[in-house]
Amino acid sequence: MVSMLGGDCNWVKNVRAANGDVIIRHRRAKVCRLVEVQVEERAPLIKLYLQQVPGARPHIPIDRNADVAEFELIAATTPVFLVMERDARNTIEIVK
């Protein structure tokens, strides 16, 4: 999950305040944990996000086909989270 509006938007602040514990509603409610990806690992994920989500392109000032090195310049200000779903036993698995 990528924040196209940066780290100062409300949903990112809420996720951080809740230590990543969230409920994601998409067809049905899912209890999840969002784990923030380290800055040095974000660039290729942001690039992939821009390639797959056209609506994010106006918010991120880099061409989706640019080299990964260009995405490294905005990685520190563009939060990326790994979504992990909790099951009934409260164990966690990565959502793909």
Residue 44 has pLDDT above 70, yes or no: yes
- pTM for the complete prediction? 0.84
**Per DSSP, what are the bridge partners of residue 22?**
32
Confidence (pLDDT) at 27: 87
What pLDDT does residue 95 have? 58
In angstroms, the CA 26 to CA 47 distance is: 24
Q: Where are the domains of the chain?
A: 10-94
**Spatial separation of the C-alpha atoms in residues 30 and 46, rounded to whole Å:** 24
Please list the helix, strand and coil fractions of the chain in percent, rounded to the nearest 5, in that order. Answer: 40, 25, 35
pLDDT for the residue 26 = 84
pLDDT for 16-35, tens place per residue? 999 999 999 888 888 999 99
How many residues are present in the chain?
Answer: 96
